[in-house]
Amino acid sequence: MAVCDNDPLALLACQRNAQINGVTLKLSPAFESYEGAIDIILASDVLYDRGNLGWLEVFLRRAPSVLVADSRIRDFRAKNYQLISTSSSYTLPDLDESQEFRQVKVYLGRVA
């Protein structure tokens, strides 16, 4: 199992969580540098910036299935992605975000 994130604190959190749960992870600071086979990509909070939408195509070139979770983007329409779930959520500690950002949508991407 591998984890890629450009935020060193996110990688540290993933590593610590894996240790607590007895899981072995390969950590990578950049998705582009990961060379192993990928069965599924789980991506969260990558769509906060419309400039990141290009990642959706990149993900599908690397894996047959992609799950993307996001609470910030509205009117999401991307080729080969469909909404599969909507859930209410909040951060811990609670950052008192507005209700509109507490609705997390999960999209499944697959190559057609």
Phi and psi at 89, nearest 5°, equal -150, 170
Report the relative pairing of strands 2-4 and 26-28 from DSSP bridges.
Answer: parallel
pLDDT for the residue 30: 86
Q: What is the rounded average pLDDT for all residues in the chain?
A: 86
Q: What is the pLDDT of residue 94?
A: 67
pLDDT at position 47 is 81
Lowest mean pLDDT across 35-39, 83-87, 100-104: 100-104
pLDDT tens, residue by residue, 44-91: 878 877 788 889 999 999 999 999 998 877 778 889 999 999 888 766
Distance CA 61, CA 92 (A): 33
